[in-house]
Amino acid sequence: MDIFQKIFLYLGALIAASFLIVALIALSNAENGQLTVEGLSHLEGQFVSFYEFFRWIVYIWMASAIFLFIRFLSRMFGK
């Protein structure tokens, strides 16, 4: 396994775990079994901050995925 595969694998796992934690945080703020925008309004700053930071991690993950896909295609059709 080379460095690009490790980046893709580990960043994918980090992204999945982070979004699971964010979903659990959002769901823990449900009132009477309903999740509303008003119920999440106090978390707006944290969610925006998370998005602004995590967007760059997703960009790196997507770049590694594109590189791996191009490398796969070149090996598949290059021979």
In this structure, of 22-26, 37-41, 54-58, 59-63, the range with the lowest mean pLDDT score is: 37-41
Q: What is the pLDDT of residue 8?
A: 92
Token output for 18: 């982070």
Q: Is the pLDDT of residue 7 over 80?
A: yes
Could you tell me the pTM of the whole model? 0.80
Would the pLDDT of 79 be above 70?
Answer: no
Residue spans of the domains in the chain: they are 3-29+40-78
- DSSP symbol at 29: T
pLDDT in tens, 9-48: 999 999 999 999 999 999 998 888 888 888 889 999 999 9
Tokens 């999945």, located at residue: 16
